[in-house]
Amino acid sequence: MAARRSNSHASGSSSSNRRAVNAQVRCNCGIEALIKTVRKGPNFGMKFYGCPMWPDTQCDFFKWVNQHSDVEVYQFKLLEKDTIICELELEQSFRDEKIKKLSLKKANLEEELTELKNKVIELRIGRQNISRTGNSLYLALLISWMFFVVVFFLN
């Protein structure tokens, strides 16, 4: 376990103790861990939790201050999943709104199409009536000419 300690701080590094105690973090001895700061080496300035009795005890507790616990990792993952779900629900809401608008537009277009079909039917009926009227007028003109010819020759 001593190798772990030397890997965490470069060999020849030292640390300073601060009396800032985090009640949630306890070392392997069960004592509240102290927040210490690396004073030498590649991790200079980084903060870590360490046993307040070290080096007088064999406790090799070490944890970076910014290292997250499993609970925090899972809470963060849960937050990420909740965020994704909210984004998907928002996207679905936008899609639903778009579908609703398109449905209204479709209904309006179907109504306009029905009106246009009715107008076409009216125009066809009108054209048929005009055609019948034209045929009647042609027949009336023909009969009147025949009557005129008959009256002209009989006189």
Assigned domain for 24 exists: yes
Q: pTM for the complete prediction?
A: 0.39
Assigned domain for 26 exists: yes
What is the band of 66 on the pLDDT scale with cuts at 50, 70, 90?
A: confident
Assigned domain for 13 exists: yes
Peptide bond into 42 cis (omega under 30): no
| Average of per-residue pLDDT values in the chain | 80
Assigned domain for 40 exists: yes
Supply 29's token pair.
């001895």
Mean pLDDT confidence for 47-70: 77
List the one residue out of 74, 92, 93 whose CA is nearest residue 82: 74
Instruction: Encode 110-124: b = buried (16+ Cβ within 10 Å), e = exposed.
Output: eeeeeeeeeeeeeee
> What pLDDT, in 10s, does the model give residues 95-111?
999 999 999 999 999 99
Domain count, the chain: 1
Assigned domain for 107 exists: no
Q: Which amino acid is at 10?
A: A
* pLDDT top residue among 151 and 62: 151
Assigned domain for 12 exists: yes
Residue with tokens 């701080």: 9
Assigned domain for 34 exists: yes
What is the band of 10 on the pLDDT scale with cuts at 50, 70, 90?
A: very low
Assigned domain for 99 exists: no
What is the band of 67 on the pLDDT scale with cuts at 50, 70, 90?
A: low
What's the domain range around 52?
2-67
Question: Are the CB atoms for 98 and 39 separated by under 8 Å?
Answer: no
Helices (H) and strands (E) in the chain, counts: 2, 4
What does 93-104 look like in DSSP terms, one character per residue?
Answer: HHHHHHHHHHHH
CA–CA gap between residue 38 and residue 16 (Å, rounded): 7
